[in-house]
Structure 1
Amino acid sequence: MKVFAIGSIVKPLSEEERERVLGKEVPHTLQLYLDGAIDQFWFRGDRPGPIFLMNAESVEAAKAVIDKMPIVAEGFAEYDYYPVGPLAPLGRLIQGL
């Protein structure tokens, strides 16, 4: 299944914290992408935080992956999770083909 994980910064980072945490966060995120857990990623346009389209067996599995990210584990960010799938009503448009 696919899961959107939408992050929000809930505790501002000082410059020192930003360097320390992001120094771990960026390679961690890249490894998740290379491992296939994160399929696509974007940066939010409305406020600081990423949006990940994840490959996961469930929302709980996606949450377990995200909870290990340094910025979440250290309490600076939180995520909301939304399971998504194909737009099923489109099948009605091709019935009978």
Structure 2
Amino acid sequence: MKVLAIGSIVKPVTPEQRQQIMPREVPATLQLYLDGKIEQYWYRQDAPGVVFLMDVDSVDDAKATVNALPLVADGFAQYQLMPIGPLAPLGMLIQGK
């Protein structure tokens, strides 16, 4: 299933904390991409944070995955999870449906 994970920074990260966390956060995120759990990723333009398009077994799987990331585990970030799928009403445009 596809899940849109919208990340937000909930506690400011000091430069010193960033130096400690990001060397763990970046490889962990990259590994999720290489494992196929993150299909696409973006940096938010409206607020600090990221957005992932995830391919996971369930929303619970997505939650466990993002909660294991260092920024979340250390209390600096959180994710809003939204299951998404095909635009079903488009089926009405197919003749005979």
Q: Which bin holds the TM-score, normalised by the shorter protein?
A: over 0.9
* Structure 2 segments unaligned to the other structure (5+ residues): none
Letter in 2 for 1:83: P
**Equivalent residue pairs, number:** 97
Once the two structures are TM-superposed, the CA of residue 94 in structure 1 deviates from its matched residue by 1.3
Once the two structures are TM-superposed, the CA of residue 19 in structure 1 deviates from its matched residue by 1.1
What percentage of residue pairs aligned between the two structures are identical? 60
TM-score (norm 1): 0.96
* Structure 1 segments unaligned to the other structure (5+ residues): none
Letter in 1 for 2:5: A
After TM superposition, the runs of 4+ consecutive aligned structure 1 residues lying more than 3 A away are none
Deviations 1:15-67 (A, max 9, x none): 01011101110010000000000010001110000000001111111000011
TM-score (norm 2): 0.96
Partner of residue 47, structure 2 = 47
RMSD value over aligned CA atoms? Answer: 1.1
Letter in 1 for 2:85: G
